[in-house]
Structure 1
Amino acid sequence: MLYVWGRIRPAKSPFSARLHEARSQCHFANAPAGPPPAFSKRTVNDRFVPGTPATLIRNATVFTGDTILHERDVLLDQGLIQSVSSAFEHRASPDTVEIQAAGAWLTPGLIDMHTHLGVLSMPLLPSHADANSQMSPIRPMLRSIDAFNEHDLSVRRTLSGGVTSALVLPGSLNNIGGQAYPVKLGSLHDRPPSSRVIDPPRSMVMNGEAGHARDDLYPPNTGMQRPDGSTSFRQIKMACGENARKYHLVRMDEAWNFRSMLERAQKLRARQDDFCARLATGQLDYAPPSELHFPNEQEIDVLVDVLRGRTKVQTHCYTMNDLDAFVRHANEFQFPIAAFHHAHETYLVPSVLHGAPGGAPAAAIFSTNANYKYESYFGTPFQPELLRSHNITPIIKSDHPVLDSRRLLNQAAQAHHFGLHELDALRAVTSAPAHVVGLAHRLGHVQPGMDADVVLWDRHPLQLGATPTHVFVDGRSEFEVLHSSGPAPDGTKPQQAPPSAKFHDDMARVRNASEAIADQRVLAFPTPVKHVPAMVLHNLSHVYLRTDGPLRLHHGQGRVLVFAQGQVRCFGDESCLASAPAHAHHMDTQGGVVLPGLISYGATLGLSDIPSEASASNGEEKAQDERSDLPRPMSRAVDGLVFGGHDLLRAHASGVSTVVSAPPFEGLYGSVSAHFDSGASSVLDKMSVRASSVALHAKLAPSEDGRFALSTQVALLRAQLNHPKTPEWEQVASGRLPLIVATDYEHMAAQMILLKRAMPQVRLVLDSAAPLHRIAAELAEADIPVLLPNQVWMFGWERCDRLAGPPVSAETELGVLLQHGVRVGVRIDEAWEASNLLWETTWAAQDAHVTDAATILSWLTTNLEDILQLPASSSDVVVYDSNPFAYGAKVLGVGTPRGFELFP
């Protein structure tokens, strides 16, 4: 029953005060959710910081949130976008700050619709890990804003990436994890942390608010007053699927958790409606005070608002069956779903989403991150475009700290690479999330009257390496200086969008094979369609070849390459055709580019198909007793290789021809890595294993069981080198086998320099995300190579002093190491990252202002061969249809000693 109360008169007695309060509660409980009624007439942003000067951004290319406008001036004042006009028409006042955009791109501030900023704050310490309650799987009354940590170093770094607003969610271990809050990431300007919340709902009592006098907190010109009793939308985080296994629940338990709590809310709503109806008809005018209490339960009041349509439901949900079940719950209790998050299988069942009450939910998704658990195993990089084609809104999110929220726009760029239209990719991180969280009246658009949250970019926002040059929140410039990333390897910062890669055939195959994908007969990502023993590539434009020396670039139209008998037989002009076998397959690449096969180092690629499933993984070696005189045999990757996993196949389809992996282990030391072919089907294949013993691995990190301090670990490592107890350690001590020591601690890296000085024969290699820039000269002097990730964000305390790189700092760890002559190679942290290896390494190079493509490739090929003494993989080649150092290029084929594989 809908109940709307008119004007509420002030009370004159205790009884009338109780009656007045009851009427107020009914008034607010039944009022609508959405923008304040006079919001469009505001003349100043309620978040405006007095003294902020007006800013005129001249001659920008503007993405408005819907379309693209060229040669526009944008005026920011009073915390609002005041005008978007033709370039140079606007005459600025003398005190207006002017920025000459010179055609650069201006976008709305980005919105991350799924982040744990502040509640899983960086550096990640147990004392501030507040995302998940472990009290119960059902905690609707919890509020993320109550745990938001202002010491989170990621907040300002995320802002530097152009993300100005974010929906801060509780975690996903609980079926109902609590209430989420949309926040601004700009500076507080002496305001309390809770002031970050954008238009707090009435359920959140604000500082200075007394009774129901919230409107008194806002001047009329802010448009924030709500005389109709309305509220902004609340947000609730729900989650189905694997994560609640922590509570020993199966999916039937989860379904009952949702339904039983919604039934409680349904009954509470009925009691409230009945109370308000009796109050409205005068039945309670003379009731005793005990009967004048508005029925409410704080534990579930947010769920009542779900049923009233005043709470946006944000649901972590992956699989077809979970999506289907949750839509059934929504239909049973008649509430809309704002978005499914992660939602890896939405593309398989779009009709299920269209069956939800109130219209199809949006899907807040990753672009390429997948396979980390069974729920994500059937994901596809084509999902954003497939969803759009089914009239389901794709939204790109970070799930920070799962992915770095500073790189949110990069995920949208990857979605564009895999087919999502330029405008839809930009909407996916601006206007689309603004609409879904109910804030499109003030966020996500560049148009008059909107909050002045805008970002100016150094190149087209979807180009690899795009970096903000200016970030404004509520009209205020947030950074005095932002350091731009360097140009692409071709020396440019393109102002036009990159093309989408030509995945038309793969896209059509995935679109039409839902059932075959679901039962694992068909793969949902690019796969080879043909295998030939010999290949002739015509009309190549650029070829990077390695022989006995460094990589060399050969360029010029019309080049020919002959690949036969598992290697490059000839490269040059048409005369090479004489060396081509008669049965060779011919391809006109139309300007294609050939690279050496990339080497992926790190993670568990080839050792686990699904890391979270024991039966789909080699497993983790438990800690040895490092003090034992009889250590057990070393775990060897070559003995546990599993080919054909999704991450391995996706890496292969992205140009990674070989992999170096070591079995994961607990404790100080414990495994030997192997070098193997990413496209092989078995260790029995020809050349599937290139090297069975690459290096012995150790790590210096706090032990999980607390047995050994870091200083003790160094002592044990030194003792093992002085008195080796296994054949592997004897090889390391004599310099015949490299020792890779993983540590993210700068002081431990310094100890390794001392160890190398004392034992120069040991071939010591650092695997590190530590802040090494302060000891780069000493690393070079000691000739200690470093394997480092191509991108790093805060996790532990040990990484706090790491150079963040553009736009936060001008320099990067990689750049400083290179300046001092340290030999470097690039590694990955998680197996899925291998499919993005060349992109992310190219971006790392741009941040380090390295533009030589051969140098970039060396970090993924010849440097790794040199550092790890791998057998040269000069036989491996990958051909792309265009420039592979930018988005838009597609792999056409991969050549290895097994032959040449063709992709559609």
Structure 2
Amino acid sequence: MASRVPQNAAIWTGRDEGREVLKGDILLDQGLVKWIGHADKHLLDEYQDLNRVDARGRWVTPGIVDMHSHLGVNSAPSLRGASDGNSRKGPILPWLRALDGLNTHDEAYRLSASGGVTTALVLPGSANAIGGQGAVIKLRPPTDRSPTGMLLESPYETNTTVYDPTTHFRFRQMKHACGENPGRVYSGTRMDTIWAFRQGYEKARQIRDAQDAYCVKARNGQWAGLGEFPEDLQWEALVDVLRGRVKVHTHCYETVDLDDLVRISNEFKFSIAAFHHAHETYLVTDTLKSAYGMYMSTSFTVGYLTCIIAGKPPAAALFATHSRYKRESYRGSEFAPRILADAGIQVVMKCFLLFEAQQAYYYGLPHNLALSAMTITPATILGLDHRIGFLEEGYDTDIVLWDSHPLALGATPQQVWIDGVPQLATPHTADKPAHFQRLPQTPNFDKEVKEALKYEGLPPLKPKASVSHAVVFANASTVFVRDASSATGIKQIAVTHNADGPFSVVVKEGKIVCVDTTTSASRCARSVLQDSAVVEYVDLDGGSLVPGLTTFGSPLGLEEIMSEVSTKDGYVLDPLQDRIPKVVGGNGALIHAIDGLQFGTRHALYMHPYSLLPSTLTAVPASPTALASLQASSRQPAAGSSPGMSTTFSLAAPHKLADGAIVQESGAVHVAIHPMGVPSVSTQIAALRRLLLHPSEGEAGVWFDKVKNGEVPLVVEVESTDIIATLISLKSEVERELGTRLKFTLVGAREAHLLASEIYAADIGVILSPSRPYPSPWEAHRILPGPPLSEKSAVRVLLEHGVTVGLGVSVADKVLNTRFDAAWVALEANGTISKEEAIALVSTNIEKLLGISMGEGHGDVVATRGGDLLGYSKVVGVVSPSRGVVDML
């Protein structure tokens, strides 16, 4: 079958350094691109069976190429029997192959393809200095259902595949790692790891040199005593690295590690394709440029001698915003992609690829390079740009049709074709406004870029000034405020109408005193401005004023660096698994998060200048009883019914004793129920039932009495539908027994959508964390992914059933994107979630579900320039009623 896929499209080809856009059609035949442009009728008449898809002017791009993936080797759901990412057999293991552990039943293939990912380099983990060989796969289920059938180009000959290496060489890919990870696994230092590299490469060099000497003798006819050809199956892949036949991908963060590997590359004369993670590459671009041969394009001859042509430096494959989660990433910067590109270093996005590319673009990476960073650049680095990455006639490039410009927030595939085969049986997408087809405008971050370099990733983050005099925010487009009388607790009090144009908001002593929506100054505005000795004007350029957000779920406020114990509040003992000392209170102890609070962490400070400032954060003790124990998406939370108390505090405060630092000392009682084997779920439920139905000792008893009386919420971290059903029954049981109405909130709750009506009937609220679910643990494998795989997201389903919903964040650096999480949820809801409801998801709803009373004088208001909550705006000021000032950013 041939398909004209699609018709009437805006086609981003990848050519002209990612700047070329064509209007027209694409004709596919047996997975090959046959035509790009306007196909004439004579060409189309050649095909008997055409599948015509009208793109209606929407965007088409090559499929996304994931150059740093662990799909299939670290499977979803995460099960011990399906984890093949790391070997523990030694530091140097070039002979291992990710293909040998590739799980063809991984749920992540379908999820990734639905996001536009069509090709992935599956790499071993980073536990070894050399972890083994990667596998480049396409994410279409193969007809033979085998891992080998998923390979894009098999570098290994079989009885059905033999290729000519003089045409397009089939590179192998190899994983290297340095720094903390291999050192931690093998209890060694960086010096040990680099010595391991040198030992391995010295062995490979000896074999290569012996082979070359053998070939010289053979060519010269010196057969006497020549013997067997010198080779070693274990080391042949590393020998091929030295011959330029293997692309080396190196997990490296810090300057010292980057410099180490560059020196190794020069000592043994091999090229490095890319540094992955690469958090400090933007600080040492000259170091990358000093790598051996830089990044090489290689012209091959048959035999063991190669001709190497110098090319580009190693690329940097990195996150846009994910950093500061370990010491090695502490100096990571949101501006790294832009700085690297400015220095001539190729940039590749990793992890949540489309969103990372959008974020990199937001922080200054040019749009053509942001799109290239997930398509043509990784394809080129992998040595596969003769087939994929570009939309070229004759390529078997995979194709994505998007519902909006790919760099617009919330962009979603309408269809994905891999090898010409559509991957979405019944795609669901929202009907977005026409302006979503245009490249979105982004803020200017030139000043921040300079500071990132000047301060080596640790720029000063405190507001430049706090003013108590009058401030006029001019050219606003919308104003939202807290309003207890509205259904969401958020009310839009002003909006620009075309006839009226933008308006101004007047603030004095940290309070909004009037909104001037008229063409001439209002009486209020004139009065305030006349009475003020100093008036400061801030042009919002169509921006907005919005209540500051409230974030919950991450360890923000209880740690500085996630992987460094010395920077954290620490682990809280669980009476179901540990012995609680009497000095703490024994089994009646209750741990308060407020006692372990940390202020002024870089994660907290970053919320001020770059995010829609979460004005408050609710923290819980870093124990099995709380979301603070969730350290990364790959780590499952521990089980436990030991209670802990959350606290709510201001991220802007310098320390705990400052005015306004603590918004609410104690808010809710937190527990967690997870199927971790020991203790059993039934044991955890039994413990919780006893706490709710029987008197309890100590401080835990005092607070559980408040839970029983309905005075404070009981917040339960849970994922599984079955456990949620049990909790619903338990709540009903306790309410019948006590004759009271309890306040329950579920956190995490990735399977809550399956019981939406029952949750509403039981008067239970839900904080979904993360907002875009991934089935990492088995207990959350029944997720509702949202568009394009399902018509509705879990948020939308719960809201439609009347459930109060909030959005949580599980990792501290993801708090930065809280507003984009809310925007994404609203954008994919097809107009069913208003702006007020979107803001409430990350502010008033969170507060209601956690029993937070903001109180008089709390509740910051954030001023954004160049757009509102749902766009790529920039925070320029924070109005603080509690302090009576405006922080100018």
CA RMSD in angstroms, aligned pairs only: 2.0
Q: CA deviation at 1:90?
A: 6.8
Judging changes above 3 Å, is the alpha-carbon distance between structure 1 residues 744 and 875 closer, same or farther for their aligned structure 2 residues?
A: closer
- The 3-state SS of whatever aligns with 1:113 is strand
Counterpart Cα distance in 2 of 1:199 and 1:903: 55
Contact 1:463 1:494 survives alignment (8 Å): yes
1:89 positional shift:
6.7
Partner of 1:664: 622
Aligned partner (choices 690, 697, 706) of residue 731 of structure 1: 706
Separation in 1 of the partners of 2:589 and 2:534?
Answer: 48
Query: Counterpart of 1:794 in structure 2: which amino acid?
Result: P
- SS, match of residue 92 in structure 1: helix
Which whole-Å deviations, capped at 9, do the CAs of 1:875-898 have from their partners, x for residues lacking one? 410011122334431111112223
Q: Are 1:552 and 2:491 an aligned pair?
A: yes
Q: How does 1:632-671 map to 2 (within 5 A)?
A: 633-653=589-609, 654-655=611-612, 656-666=614-624, 667-671=640-644
- Give the conservation status (yes or no) of the 8 Å contact 1:466–1:485: no
1:554-633 matched pairs, under 5 angstroms = 554-556=494-496, 557-573=501-517, 574=521, 575-577=523-525, 578-579=527-528, 581-625=532-576, 630-631=586-587, 633=589
Aligned position for 2:807:
826
Secondary structure of the 2:456 match is helix
One-letter code aligned to 1:893: G
**CA distance 1:690–1:189, shift in 2 (3 Å):** same
- Residue 669 and residue 236 in structure 1: after superposition, are their counterparts in 2 closer, same or farther (change >3 A)? same
Q: Answer yes or no: is the 8 Å Cα contact 1:240–1:315 preserved in 2.
A: yes
| CA positional deviation for 1:568 | 2.8
Q: How many residues align?
A: 813
Corresponding residue number in structure 1 for 2:119: 165
Partner of 1:845: 826
Which letter does structure 1 place at the counterpart of 2:716?
V
CA distance in 2 between counterparts of 1:341 and 1:388 reads 15
% identical equivalent positions: 37
Question: Could you tell me how far apart the structure 2 residues matched to 1:536 and 1:461 are?
Answer: 36
Which residue does 2:231 correspond to in 1? 296
Task: Report SS of the residue matched to 1:188.
Answer: coil
Q: 1:793 to 1:55 in 2, by over 3 A?
A: same
- Give, in whole Å, the separation in 2 of the partners of 1:227 and 1:597: 59
* Among 728, 732, 737, the residue aligned to 1:757: 732
Question: Counterpart of 1:709?
Answer: 680
Give the Å deviation of 1:180.
Answer: 0.6
What is the CA distance between 1:57 and its match in structure 2?
2.2
The offset of 1:292, in angstroms, is 4.0
Asked whether the equivalents of residues 417 and 887 of structure 1 are also in contact (C-alpha less than 8 Å), the reply is no
Partner of 2:73: 119
User: Does the aligned pair in 1 maintain the 2:749–2:766 contact within 8 Å?
Assistant: no
Residue 36 (structure 1) aligns with: none
Task: Write the distance in 1 (CA, Å) between the matches of 2:74 and 2:95.
Answer: 19
Q: Which amino acid letter does the alignment assign opposite residue 549 of structure 1?
A: S
Q: 1:747 aligns with which of 686, 702, 722?
A: 722
The Cα shift of 1:227 comes to 6.7
Match of 2:412 in 1: 467
Is the CA contact 2:819–2:870 (under 8 Å) kept in the aligned structure 1?
Answer: no
Query: Is 1:436 the equivalent of 2:381?
Result: yes
The answer as to 2:423 corresponding to 1:478 is yes
Contact 1:878 1:891 in 2 (8 A): yes
Deviation at 1:901, TM superposition (A): 5.0
**Which of 485, 489, 501 is equivalent to 2:443?**
501
What's the secondary structure of 1:75's corresponding residue?
A: strand
Displacement, 1:900? 4.2
Q: Tell me, what secondary structure is at the counterpart of 1:664?
A: coil
Please tell me whether the aligned partners of residues 34 and 394 of structure 2 are also in contact (alpha carbons under 8 angstroms). yes
Distance 1:81 1:145 in 2: 28
Distance in 1, Cα, partners of 2:143 & 2:576: 53
Query: Residue in 1 aligned with 2:57?
Result: 103
Q: 1:533 and 1:397, CA in 2 relative to 1: closer, same or farther beyond 3 A?
A: same
Match of 2:672 in 1: 699
What TM-score do you get using the length of structure 1 for normalisation?
Answer: 0.87
CA 1:375–1:821: 2 relative to 1, 3 Å = same
Give the match's secondary structure for 2:211.
helix
Deviation string, structure 1 residues 414-459 (Cα, Å, up to 9, x no partner): 1111111111100000000001011001010001111141111111
Asked whether the 8 Å contact 2:399–2:416 carries over to 1, the reply is: yes
Counterparts of 1:860 and 1:319, CA distance in 2: 34
Answer yes or no: is the 8 Å Cα contact 1:165–1:182 preserved in 2: yes
Alpha-carbon distance in structure 2 between the residues aligned to 1:771 and 1:479? 23
Partner SS, residue 243 of structure 1: helix
What secondary structure, in the 3-state scheme, does the structure 1 residue paired with 2:571 have? coil
For residue 400 of structure 2, give the secondary structure of its aligned residue in structure 1: strand
**In the alignment, is the contact (CA less than 8 A) between 1:330 and 1:336 conserved in 2?**
yes
- Deviation of 1:83 (Å): 1.4
In the alignment, structure 2 segments of 5+ residues that lack a partner are 295-312, 625-639, 736-740
* Separation in structure 2 between the aligned mates of residue 478 and residue 885 of structure 1, nearest angstrom: 33
- In structure 2, the residue matched to 1:777 is 757
Does residue 390 of structure 1 match 2:343? yes
Q: CA–CA distance in 1 between the matches of 2:846 and 2:434? A: 28
Stretch deviating more after TM superposition (560-569 or 840-849): 560-569
The equivalent residue for 1:684 is 657
Q: Return the offset for 1:728.
A: 2.1
Contact 1:625–1:631 under 8 Å retained in 2:
no
Deviation at 1:735, TM superposition (A): 2.0
| TM-score for both structures, normalised by structure 2 | 0.88
Contact 1:528 1:901 in 2 (8 A): no
Q: 1:156: how far off?
A: 1.3
Asked if residue 898 in structure 1 is aligned to residue 883 in structure 2, the reply is yes
Greater displacement, 681-690 / 184-193: 184-193
1:529 to 450, 458, 464: 464
Give the secondary structure class of the aligned counterpart of 2:539.
Answer: strand
1:255-299: CA deviations, max 9, x gaps?
101111111111110111111112222222x65xxx543211222
Say which is worse superposed, 292-301 or 875-884, in terms of deviation: 292-301
For 1:240, the equivalent position in structure 2 comes to 178
SS of corresponding position for 1:759: helix
Q: Distance in 1 between matches of 2:426 and 2:754?
A: 23
Change (3 A) 1:871 1:582: farther
Structure 1 residues 78 and 764, CA gap change in structure 2 (3 angstroms): closer
Query: Which residue of the other structure, out of 351, 368, 388, is the alignment partner of 2:321?
Result: 368
Partner of 1:258: 197
Q: Is the 1:486–1:846 contact (alpha carbons within 8 Å) kept by the matching residues of 2?
A: no
CA–CA distance in structure 2, aligned partners of residues 414 and 300 of structure 1: 41
The answer on 1:881 being equivalent to 2:853 is no
- Aligned pair in 2 of structure 1 residues 108, 190: CA closer, same or farther (>3 Å)? same
List per-residue Cα deviations over 1:336-361 (Å, max 9, x = no partner): 11000000011111110011122210
Consecutive unaligned residues of structure 1, counting only runs of 5 or more, are 1-51, 216-224, 399-406
Kept in 2: contact 1:538–1:587 (CA 8 A): yes
Change in Cα spacing, 1:492 to 1:658, as seen in structure 2 (3 Å) is farther
Q: Would you say the 8 A contact 2:91–2:186 is kept in 1?
A: yes
For 1:233, give the aligned amino acid: F
Amino acid at match of 2:727: M
SS at structure 2 position matched to 1:81? strand
User: What corresponds to 1:20 in structure 2?
Assistant: none
**Corresponding residue number in structure 2 for 1:339:** 274
CA change 1:230–1:780 in 2 (3 A) is: closer
Question: Match of 2:533, SS?
Answer: coil
* 1:711–1:354 distance in 2 versus 1, CA, 3 Å: same
For the Cα contact (< 8 Å) 1:58–1:87, is it kept in 2? Answer: no
Q: C-alpha distance in 2, partners of 1:799/1:643?
A: 33
The range that moved more, 230-239 or 383-392, is 230-239
**Contact 1:566–1:895 (CA<8 Å) still a contact in 2?**
yes
